Each structure stands twice: as structure tokens, then as C-alpha cells.
Chains A and B, each alone.
Chain A
Amino acid sequence: QKEVEQNSGPLSVPEGAIASLNCTYSDRGSQSFFWYRQYSGKSPELIMFIYSNGDKEDGRFTAQLNKASQYVSLLIRDSQPSDSATYLCAVGGDTGTASKLTFGTGTRLQVTL
């Protein structure tokens, strides 16, 4: 059974600091990797996606993928109180099964003033 593991947190970081969120996955055949942010009572919102080993940056967010170690991470620079949410790591297969995502249980991030 495919598994995606995340530390549930809460991860508490001060405003302006870097938040580092981690995720490991069990299926070596996984091809697509996503980070979603979910505020309480809301639906998941896509933050980043990455398909190749290495880093991918978008504004304050950087996704890192290491397929050999089956590890995905999300860095949030200059963390803001509005970043306080649950961050979900999701892993998908290749083109035919890319929509069949396996989600981790999420890491709750708290950005403190």
C-alpha cells in the first residue's frame, strides 16, 4: 500500500523565519509530487508541484525532491502569519494515474508574531 508520511506538527516558526516541511513516500514509481495548503474549514489549495529531482522555486516557496531518498520538502521563506495552515504532501503516478494522489495527513504550521 502506497504511503506518504508527514510529521503532524504543529511546527511553530517565528514571523520572518524559514519553515521547512518534510514528506517521505513509499512508492518508488511515483512521478509527480505536490504541496497543498489547507486552511481550517477550507479546501486544499495548490502551492507547488515538482516532477524532477532538485529544487523548484516560486516566490517564497521552494520545493525539493530527492527520488533516491524518496523525500520531498517544502521551504517557506519569510514566513508570515497568513502562512499558518495545514500543508499536505501528495504523491501521484505517471500520466495515467497522476490524478490518483496519495496524500499525507498534513503538517500544521503555526507562524508566530
Chain B
Amino acid sequence: KAGVTQTPRYLIKTRGQQVTLSCSPISGHRSVSWYQQTPGQGLQFLFEYFSETQRNKGNFPGRFSGRQFSNSRSEMNVSTLELGDSALYLCASSLEGASPLHFGNGTRLTVT
């Protein structure tokens, strides 16, 4: 069974631009979550989507948004990029309920 697939693997953007990251969950997984990982803050929860609806949200500004499609694939968008948005963005999928999260390889975003 294929794992969680994230594209692209690396991105370099300049301040003020916007970026869209993509995530394909494990087949059959309906929940997709997004996390940001930085050396200073560690792993922080951004949001979770289930059945095309945002089910949970972390404490990030509105510049961070996401969506989920009917095939459970998800996208995350960051608008008006700031230097502090440089991070590893991880997507994770899970079956349902309290089942464990399985992470993708991540997208490393560098904002210059």
C-alpha cells in the first residue's frame, strides 16, 4: 500500500508570494492533517480535514488555509509568505477516530 505522498518536496519562495502544497493520503484514509515543523517550535498542528470539511484547527493565522477534495486528497495554501513560514510542512493521514497518523515525507519550504 502506498504511503502518504506530498508534493513538491522542496520549494523556494520570496516574501509576499503564496504557495500551495499537495497531499495524497494512504488509500482508504479519510482524515488528512497538516503540521508545521521548525527547529524552534517543533511540530505544530495546523488543521485537519475529514470528508471535505475542516474538523479541527490549530493556532495559525488566516494566511494558512486548506481544503480537501472528494477523493480525500488535500491542499494547503499559505498566502503573503513571511520569512518565519520557512519550515517543513508535513501531511498525515489516518483512518478514523483515534487511529494513528501516518506522515508523508514533507515539503520543505524556504522563504527568502
Report A's interface with B, CB cutoff 8 A. 31-32, 34, 36, 42-46, 49, 51, 88, 90, 92, 94-106
Instruction: Give 22 pairs: A residue, B residue, CB < 8 Å, sorted on A.
Output: A32-B98, A34-B100, A42-B105, A43-B90, A43-B104, A44-B43, A44-B103, A46-B101, A96-B55, A98-B97, A98-B98, A99-B31, A99-B48, A99-B55, A100-B33, A100-B48, A100-B56, A101-B35, A103-B42, A103-B43, A104-B42, A106-B42
**Shortest distance in angstroms between B90's beta carbon and chain A's nearest beta carbon?**
6
**Shortest distance in angstroms between B109's beta carbon and chain A's nearest beta carbon?**
14
Q: How far is the CA of A51 from the CA of B48 in the complex (A)?
A: 21
Q: How far is the CA of A104 from the CA of B97 in the complex (A)?
A: 22
B86-97 CB mask vs A (1 if < 8 Å, else 0) is 001010101011
Interface size class of B (residues with CB under 8 A): 20 to 34
Q: How far is the CA of A36 from the CA of B102 in the complex (A)?
A: 10
Q: Is the CB of A101 within 8 A of B105?
A: no
Which A residues touch B48, using CB under 8 A? 99-100
| A95 and B106 contact, Cβ closer than 8 Å, known pairs A43-B90, A100-B56, A101-B45 | no
Q: Is the CB of B94 within 8 A of A43?
A: no
**Shortest distance in angstroms between B36's beta carbon and chain A's nearest beta carbon?**
11
Q: Is B70 an interface residue (CB 8 A)?
A: no
Q: How far is the CA of A103 from the CA of B105 in the complex (A)?
A: 18
Which A residues touch B44, using CB under 8 A? 103
Given A34-B101, A43-B90, 13 further pairs, Cβ under 8 A = A36-B103, A43-B103, A43-B104, A44-B103, A46-B102, A94-B98, A95-B96, A96-B55, A98-B97, A100-B45, A101-B45, A103-B42, A103-B44
- Name the interface residues of B14-56: CB closer than 8 Å to any CB of A: 31, 33, 35, 42-45, 48, 55-56
Q: Is the CB of A31 within 8 A of B98?
A: yes
Which A residues touch B31, using CB under 8 A? 99
Q: Is B58 an interface residue (CB 8 A)?
A: yes
**Shortest distance in angstroms between A85's beta carbon and chain B's nearest beta carbon?**
14
Q: Is the CB of A49 within 8 A of B100?
A: yes
